[in-house]
Amino acid sequence: MSDKALDNAKALKIKALSEIERLEGEARVWRDRIAMADQFIDQWNAFASGEAVNPVDSVSAEENKPAPSTAKRNVIRNSKKEDVAEAARAIIRDRNEPVSRTDLFKALTERGLTIAGTDPEMVLSTMLWRMRDRVARLKGGGYWLADIPYEPAGYSPETSTDNDQMGNTPAEEGMPNDPETAMVRRDIFGEL
């Protein structure tokens, strides 16, 4: 039997962490916009200084190299996988049904979490795979609470293995099931 006060406190903590992440995400967006505006203002001032620009007849590539930049580069940092997993659990709990990766990605970014990369949804998948003790990907698709059974998909935390109910790793998601791909998967993952 669970203690209702403890459950309420845990839910409040999750909601507060989620809100903090959302607000931090908004703050990052606004800081990036300020940096972009500052950069434009600096460039505008440089061009508007009134100094004449003298054309150069011929300059070698070596002479024309820009000086190394000392400006700090804006690096987008992803939210912590632990925070992503807790926010994902809150979303799944709110919907009370498995949530697809695409829908989960959208809901998490709407809450202000940062999940970036060449393939942001795959980054999310990898984060959740690393937090599979908190969020499980069901065989039939969708993410679910790792500690709660989901009978329609045959998911049970007790029978869940180290690879949970997925049957694959994030890198395998969406890979075609043709013989050539199967051979590559066997080479990479040592199984099939």
What's the pLDDT score for residue 11? Answer: 87
What's the pLDDT score for residue 192? Answer: 40
Q: What is the pLDDT of residues 48-61, one digit of tens each?
A: 776 655 555 555 55
Q: What is the pLDDT of residues 139-179, one digit of tens each?
A: 888 999 999 999 998 899 987 664 444 444 554 454 445 55
User: Per-block average pLDDT, block size 10, for the chain (192 residues)?
Assistant: 83 88 87 85 76 55 60 77 95 95 95 92 94 92 93 86 48 50 48 42
What distance in Å separates the CA atoms of residue 15 and residue 90, rounded to the nearest whole number?
7
What's the pLDDT score for residue 189? Answer: 46
- Is the CB of residue 157 less than 8 Å from the CB of residue 148? yes
What's the pLDDT score for residue 123? Answer: 93
What's the pLDDT score for residue 137? Answer: 93
What's the pLDDT score for residue 106? Answer: 95
The pTM is what?
0.49
What's the pLDDT score for residue 7? Answer: 86
What's the pLDDT score for residue 53? Answer: 52
